[in-house]
Chains A and B, each alone.
Chain A
Amino acid sequence: MMPKLTYRVWKVWRRNAEVFTKTIFVNFIPSMLEPILYLAAFGLGLGAYFGAEVFPGGASYIQFIAPGLISIAIMYGSFFECTYASFVRMYFQKSFDAIIATPISVDEVIAGETLWGATRATINSTIVLAVVAAFGLASSPTALLIPVVAFFGGLLFASLAMCFTALAPSIDFFNFPAFLFITPMFILSGTFFPIPDVIQGAALGALPLTHVVNLTRGLLTGNFLPLAGLSGVSVALLGLAWLAVATTVFFVLSIHLMKKRLIK
């Protein structure tokens, strides 16, 4: 039932990390420019139309969206790495087949890919965190814990992505999860505006980005906010529990689905 994993997982991870560092320039600059653009255009531009301290926790608009941008970087970094990029490696480059012919197992290849997806989430969101801090928007030292949330949140999105990759008949298939799952989360998880009351329960139950946003916002400001009738601490604990359970389930499921796809 549980996948058998050894240190060899890191050899797969390292392969991807080495390709990444080779192209660090094209990977780094866009991840840095995007949050600057969002903070300037939405935070300062659109934010000028809102009064100060009107957002939950007495935040200004730019303060409100900052944790949203970090969380979106976590989701995009891991989800797109383990859908499009992993699919290219699996389907077009046949890299998985090549690695499976060595002492490394399928389980370890998939685990390595997923851990790499979580790493991408950590790298991308830490860049955004740095930009946010440069704008003076990281008001609590607990913000230094955000990369930890990024890694584990990234692990969830990477595992979910890997499930879709295992089921994808072609690369165009990813339009479904991208538009029907990722985009709604991008908008509705308390990223750019507070989650409307009527969908708060649904967001907590079905949109994992909500938990990532709640945790990131709490760590960035040192103040966990109540939501859907729950206290701030309860929301944070629920988030941690939700992420832990879902990550375990989808991580194991992704390996099973991938084995079914790759081993006939």
Chain B
Amino acid sequence: MMGSSEVLIKARGLTKRFNSFTAVDGIDFEVCSGKCVGFLGPNGAGKTTTVRMIYCFLPVTDGELTVAGLDVKTQDRQIKGLIGVCPQEDNLDPDFSVIKNLQVYARYFDIPKQEATKRAEELLKFFALEEKRNAHVESLSGGMKRRLIMARALINQPKVLLLDEPTTGLDPQGRHLVWDEIRTLRKQGVTIILTTHYMEEAEALCDRILVVDNGKIIQTGAPKELIKQYVGKDVLEVEYDEQMVQTLKQELPDVEVEVFGDQVRVFAKQHGSFEQIIKQFPDKNVTIRNANLEDVFLKLTGRRLRE
């Protein structure tokens, strides 16, 4: 593995336009090797488009993008050899069994057959798919398919693993299994870029998060820092009550009160800020929780429904 300070992916003014629509609007970012970086944003923010430019699937309209010092515009073949891609859509080969999917994919990377089979067996073991070795791909559950796609993405022992919404559509068990595997890969030093709109996923897996919206990076930082900076520590949630809102505003002038519909959310910078207030309203159904990335996200990108 490389030193952790090495910049593996570098984008400068990276832009992607589809006709008149600008999907990615002049973004700059760097990904260092061994890190897990998350692109977090609402639908249509430009996450997938960015990832697709990294693996040379979409040509760059403007700006610079390099992977391991190679230019995506001219050295796409070399770059594709260094990257493992786990796309959003299931594109496993339904004409082949589980093991054959890995073997055929390995051939696309010029991996000799014996070596391919060895790696395939190891990956099936790692992703707990050994029992499904000879099963037909169509017979796998959603979670198994996702894990097989991840196994396939690792067959060329990539320097960078791109995970485009790796857990979308999975049940909680499937999702946690995938998370565990991503964490293990991280520990092994694999550089990971993932896109997600699940906040807890970004929080659980990423060293650094790039919050994207309308094709721009609107904020970056470690998940904990972003939460601390934009939201604080505690969040109180309660059904709207005029008297309670007034009391909160009077007694805790530092907190931020947000009313939407019949719900109130109050954000405090300090732990334990709300204890006194709750005692005054014992019959209210109040929830106090830790601030999370979802709060940051909604704060930064607004509540408007996308698409």
Contact surface of A with B, Cβ cutoff 8 Å? 8, 11, 14-15, 18-19, 22, 93-95, 97-105, 263-264
A-B contact pairs, 21 of them (CB 8 A): A8-B108, A14-B107, A19-B95, A22-B95, A93-B94, A93-B95, A95-B91, A97-B87, A97-B91, A98-B93, A100-B57, A101-B80, A101-B83, A101-B85, A101-B87, A102-B81, A103-B78, A103-B108, A263-B58, A263-B59, A264-B58
Give Cα distance in the complex from A122 to B98, angstroms: 30
A216 CB to nearest chain B CB (Å)? 32
Q: Within 8 Å of chain A (Cβ to Cβ): is B126?
A: no
Give Cα distance in the complex from A22 to B94, angstroms: 13
Contacts of B90 in A (CB 8 A): 94
Contact yes or no, A103 B18, CB < 8 A = no
Query: With contacts A102-B156, A103-B109 known, what are 14 further pairs, Cβ within 8 A?
Result: A8-B108, A14-B107, A15-B104, A93-B93, A98-B92, A99-B108, A101-B57, A101-B85, A102-B105, A103-B108, A103-B110, A105-B76, A105-B77, A264-B18
Contacts of B91 in A (CB 8 A): 93-95, 97-98
Main secondary structure of the interface of B (DSSP, over half): loop
Query: Do A103 and B81 contact each other (CB < 8 Å), given the known contacts A93-B93, A93-B94, A98-B93?
Result: yes
Contacts of B81 in A (CB 8 A): 102-103
Q: Within 8 Å of chain A (Cβ to Cβ): is B115?
A: no
Contacts of B58 in A (CB 8 A): 263-264
Contact yes or no, B107 A11, CB < 8 A = yes
Give Cα distance in the complex from A264 to B21, angstroms: 12
Contacts of A264 in B (CB 8 A): 18, 58
Give Cα distance in the complex from A18 to B100, angstroms: 10
B79 CB to nearest chain A CB (Å)? 9
User: Total number of A-B contacts with CB less than 8 angstroms?
Assistant: 59
Give Cα distance in the complex from A203 to B58, angstroms: 42
Contacts of A100 in B (CB 8 A): 57
Query: Do A95 and B93 contact each other (CB < 8 Å), given the known contacts A101-B55, A101-B85, A105-B77?
Result: yes
Contacts of B156 in A (CB 8 A): 102
Contacts of A102 in B (CB 8 A): 80-81, 105, 108-109, 156
Contacts of B55 in A (CB 8 A): 101
Give Cα distance in the complex from A95 to B90, angstroms: 10
Contact surface of B with A, Cβ cutoff 8 Å? 18, 55, 57-59, 76-78, 80-81, 83, 85, 87, 89-96, 104-105, 107-110, 156
Contacts of A22 in B (CB 8 A): 95
Give Cα distance in the complex from A93 to B95, angstroms: 9
Give Cα distance in the complex from A116 to B96, angstroms: 18
B38 CB to nearest chain A CB (Å)? 20
Contacts of A95 in B (CB 8 A): 91, 93
Contacts of A8 in B (CB 8 A): 108
Q: Which residue of A lies closest to B89 (CB)?
A: A94
In order of increasing CB-CB distance, the 8 nearest A-B pairs are A94-B91, A102-B108, A98-B91, A101-B85, A19-B95, A103-B77, A103-B81, A103-B80
Contacts of A93 in B (CB 8 A): 91, 93-95
B150 CB to nearest chain A CB (Å)? 13
Give Cα distance in the complex from A214 to B100, angstroms: 43
Q: Which residue of A lies closest to B149 (CB)?
A: A98
Give Cα distance in the complex from A18 to B113, angstroms: 15
Contacts of A105 in B (CB 8 A): 76-77
A188 CB to nearest chain B CB (Å)? 36
Contacts of A19 in B (CB 8 A): 95-96
Give Cα distance in the complex from A98 to B76, angstroms: 15
Give Cα distance in the complex from A202 to B87, angstroms: 49
B264 CB to nearest chain A CB (Å)? 44
B106 CB to nearest chain A CB (Å)? 9
Q: Which residue of A lies closest to B110 (CB)?
A: A103
Q: Which residue of B lies closest to A6 (CB)?
A: B77
Give Cα distance in the complex from A87 to B93, angstroms: 14
> Which of B18, B107, B108 has the most chain A CB atoms inside 10 A of its CB?
B108
Q: Which residue of B lies closest to A19 (CB)?
A: B95
Contacts of B96 in A (CB 8 A): 18-19
Give Cα distance in the complex from A9 to B90, angstroms: 24
Give Cα distance in the complex from A63 to B29, angstroms: 71
Contacts of A18 in B (CB 8 A): 96, 104
> Which of A97, A102, A103 has the most chain B CB atoms inside 10 A of its CB?
A102
Give Cα distance in the complex from A14 to B110, angstroms: 13
Give Cα distance in the complex from A8 to B76, angstroms: 15
Give Cα distance in the complex from A105 to B81, angstroms: 12
